[in-house]
Amino acid sequence: MTALTAYFGLTEVGNIEKGDTVIVTAASGATGSMVVQLAKKVFGASKVIGISGSDSKCRYVESIGADICINYRDSDFNRQLDLAVGSKTREGGADILFDNVGGKLLDRCMRQLRIKGKVVACGAIAGYNDPEKYIVRNWSYIIARRLRVEGFIVFDYSKKFGEALNLLSDSLQNGKIKFSKDTEVIIFDCTGDKFKNIPKIWGKLFNDDKPSGKVLSLVNKFNNSKI
């Protein structure tokens, strides 16, 4: 489903064209990593700029196809982003911003879009637990740059799932897209009295304490004979 989200976000909402410059926030995530690969290796983007939250995640994003990935926690993030987009892109800015984060990062990245650039509003994880972080403070930029901002839900395009899955399957088989077989699984013991820790553990998924890999919460233990 995340691959379909990436596909339709780029094609139906972003109207991606060969040669476009694409910025992807949360580029190491399930959807973002597919956006990177599809944009670069399937749809022929000239430059794909990923944004993620650690150096190791950035290296992963670059390994799957991004021309560069920037750690938004770096003190000179703004300068790095300016350099990554550069002045030689179409009409002086990026063509598409595929946003999975919202908030301050969305505000900052919108400034990198060209006139009549497009924002694919896929997610807003920055504000899921704090509505104040949903706020868009660069509204004037949307007006001045004549940006098109469009949200979507993948099921909007359910009638086209078949053709999308055919392309995704072909792209996987011919090596244009890939998935990691070495994802780290982190298990938190939430059995017994530790069950009360679940809100705190799950909250890590939405803040700077987010662990790398897939998080599982163990809430009970069974003997094989009881399963």
Sign of CA dihedral 18, 120, 165, 53: positive
Q: Lowest-confidence range among 12-21, 84-93, 119-128, 172-181?
A: 84-93
Mean pLDDT of 121-150: 88
Mean pLDDT for the stretch of residues 67-75: 96
Burial of 26 per CB tally in 10 Å (0-12, 13-18, 19+): buried
- pLDDT tens digit string along 8-65? 999 999 999 999 999 999 999 999 999 999 999 999 999 999 999 999 999 999 999 9
pTM here is 0.84
